Amino acid sequence: MNSGLTRIHFQIWKFTSPFGNQRPNEEIHFQIGKLTSPLGNELTALAVHFDFSKKMRWRDLLELDQNQPIPDDFFDSPRKLHFIGIGGIGMSALAFLALARGVSVSGSDENDGPMLAKLRGAGAQVFVGHAASNLENAEAVVFSSAISDENAEFEAAKNAGIPCFHRSQLMAHFANRAKVSIAVSGTHGKSTTSAMISHLLEREGHNPTAILGAVYPPFETNFRVGNPDLVVVEADESDGSFSLLKPTVALVLNLEPEHLENYDDDSNELERAFKMFCANAKFCVLNRDERLKRLDDSPFSFFYGRESGTLNFTKIEKFAGKTEFDVRFVSAPLGRFCLRVPGLHNVSNAVAALGACAKALDVSSPLALKALARHFETFAGTLRRFERKGEAKNIAVYDDYGHHPTEVRATLGAAREFLARPICVVFQPHRYSRTQALWREFGEAFGSADKIIITQLYSAHETPIAGVSGRLIFDEVHRKSGGKPVFYAENLEDAKTLALELLEEGDALLTMGAGDITRLGPQILEALRA
């Protein structure tokens, strides 16, 4: 047909999404006009094109929780729960916790690996690859924001009428039913701080249940099964899922523009989500150094910080392998304490952990706070947070999860303080959206490094953005390097070759990023030992 269509574009306010919730501002395109048929007849026609984004935004999660909450008695009888993407750090912790509660667990992931092996060992039925047949006998499905609504298992569950719960709903189900819960949020430091809180509580004999965002070696995994009425969770702001939590204590470490692709590219929306997170809590613990006063609409809050705040730390001294500092509560000195994970940011995290424990346990005596703080020294850090991988030919190799300019700067600064060695860093950018938003900031984040290799970015399943690649960061780092050696690697194999050429006896190698770069350090150690 020949067409003479006029295109009209407008918006509707709400529609029901594949997730069962209503979503705002989705676009529909209409075309209205005259069509001439092959027989010469003139027809009036209406053509409709639906342009629905498949990305789940933070407000969608709130509506999802309201529309399809997990029943209070859901785990009172035997259940079979299927996790789509069970190998993810957040999903695996929930799967382990469900197993500990007596739930029959199955799950699938795109790739096999150590986490899937651990899940099998714990009793889960785990599949490699996604297929509708994996859902056999499943009574409910758990999915994360990383799962497309076109996923074969997700589609099959919807078609079969099997209840589908977002990861955050299951997290909230466990945490919100505890008598006391601590939820740790912020742009940076959540995993380390939630592990610190769990460590302090466990060492003092309080037996917490913990759901962490990283493996904590003393727990041998990223969760701890303990008292179901005392729960510590890492509260994820990346997809807004922390908005479903109603904790006893909400801890906010910092707030920077991040993951804005899930907040309509609006930092004010991100701040509103944090405000809701705080409003849902009985008490808030906020970082005074990060100017978080704007989040505090509650009279039941207190601040911690360097030299100011209800709980504060002063007189910081850095030594090889440790940091010492004084802590005060109101005007009472608690004493001098030691931390064996590097960086001023971790001193702040430790004091934040102490504050959260104090509010959760409802203790305020200097003696009780000092008893908690004495366990700082035995905290060993989490995996992929300045984690020492080994040494060969007098070259020390470390690995770190840092993928934001602030994290890169803090980790490299800590490395400079702790290591009396030249530092070679290999950085893998993470996500097209983050690279597009922060490439200029990345250009200034590597000042403490002596040699720098930037790799092609790890997409994390994002759709490519025109003109955005690892080279965008490389060019800016090179421009601001002040003559330091800066190189670009198209892939990890090229990065390995470059690193082996650059490394000299006495150097330290630091691999950084949230993608698969964690594989690189062991490969380089193997090559050095060969």
Q: What is the pLDDT of residues 484-512, one digit of tens each?
A: 999 999 999 999 999 999 999 999 999 99
pLDDT at 159: 92
* 23 vs 432, more confident: 432
Same domain, 317 and 198: yes
Same domain, 338 and 403: no
pLDDT at 153: 94
49 pLDDT higher than 50:
no
Tokens coding 236: 């994820």
58-67 vs 167-176: helix axis angle to the nearest 10?
60
* 40 vs 303, more confident: 303
- With residue 68 as reference, give the H or E element that holds it: none
According to DSSP, residue 271 is labeled: H
Q: Which of 378, 405, 427 is the last residue of a domain?
A: 378
138-142, 221-225, 447-451: which has the minimum mean pLDDT?
Answer: 221-225
pLDDT at 498: 95
Give pLDDT tens digits for 119-128: 999 999 999 9
pLDDT at 430: 92
442 pLDDT higher than 50:
yes
pLDDT at 338: 94
Q: Which of 170, 191, 209 is the last residue of a domain?
A: 170
129-146 burial, b if ≥16 CB within 10 A, otherwise e? ebeeebbeebebbbbbbb
Same domain, 158 and 211: no
SS3 117: helix
Same domain, 364 and 244: yes
Separation of CA 77 from chain center: 32
* 409 vs 65, more confident: 409
Same domain, 360 and 466: no
> Please, which residues have CB within 8 angstroms of residue 36's CB and are 6 or more apart in sequence?
1, 2, 3, 42, 43
Tokens coding 224: 């701890």
Cα(341)–Cα(346) distance, integer angstroms: 7
Same domain, 143 and 44: no
Q: For residue 66, what is the domain's CATH number?
A: 3.40.50.720
pLDDT at 19: 34
34 pLDDT higher than 70:
no
Compute the average pLDDT of residues 449-457.
95
> Please, which residues have CB within 8 angstroms of residue 526's CB and are 6 or more apart in sequence?
none
20 pLDDT higher than 50:
no
* Range picked from 224-233, 240-249, 265-274, 299-308 for highest mean pLDDT: 224-233
pLDDT at 217: 85
According to DSSP, residue 343 is labeled: S
pLDDT at 18: 32
- With residue 340 as reference, give the H or E element that holds it: none
Give pLDDT tens digits for 143-177: 987 788 789 999 999 999 998 998 889 999 989 99
Q: For residue 418, what is the domain's CATH number?
A: 3.90.190.20
Average pLDDT, whole number, for the chain? 83
Same domain, 273 and 365: yes
Compute the average pLDDT of residues 378-406.
89
Q: What is the tally of structural domains in the chain?
A: 4
Q: How confident is the model at residue 45 (pLDDT cuts 50, 70, 90)?
A: very low
399 pLDDT higher than 70:
yes
Cα(234)–Cα(191) distance, integer angstroms: 6
3-state helix, strand, coil in the chain (%, to 5): 35, 30, 35
pLDDT at 347: 94
Q: For residue 325, what is the domain's CATH number?
A: 3.40.1190.10
HSE, side-chain direction, 13 A CA sphere, residue 451: 18
Range of the domain at 252: 178-378
267-271, 353-357, 418-422: which has the minimum mean pLDDT?
Answer: 267-271
pLDDT at 260: 57
Cα(426)–Cα(492) distance, integer angstroms: 10
Burial grade of 489 (CB within 10 A; 0-12, 13-18, 19 or more):
buried
Same domain, 153 and 73: yes
pLDDT at 296: 60
> Taking the alpha carbons of 161, 165, 170, 173 in that order, is the dihedral positive or negative?
negative
Same domain, 190 and 97: no
pLDDT at 266: 66
* 403 vs 32, more confident: 403
Same domain, 184 and 325: yes
Of the chain, the percentage scoring pLDDT greater than 70 comes to: 82
Query: 70, 73, 94, 360: which is closest to 244 by C-alpha?
Result: 70
Q: How confident is the model at residue 441 (pLDDT cuts 50, 70, 90)?
A: very high
Instruction: Give the alpha-carbon dihedral of 316, 355, 406, 257, to 10 degrees.
Output: -150
pTM of the model: 0.73
Tokens coding 167: 């990861």
Q: Which of 360, 378, 396 is the last residue of a domain?
A: 378
Burial grade of 113 (CB within 10 A; 0-12, 13-18, 19 or more):
exposed
Same domain, 424 and 520: yes
263 pLDDT higher than 70:
no
Tokens coding 17: 């999404």
Q: How confident is the model at residue 381 (pLDDT cuts 50, 70, 90)?
A: confident
Give pLDDT tens digits for 284-298: 999 887 666 566 655
178 pLDDT higher than 50:
yes
Separation of CA 413 from chain center: 22
HSE, side-chain direction, 13 A CA sphere, residue 526: 7
Same domain, 444 and 423: yes
Q: How confident is the model at residue 238 (pLDDT cuts 50, 70, 90)?
A: confident
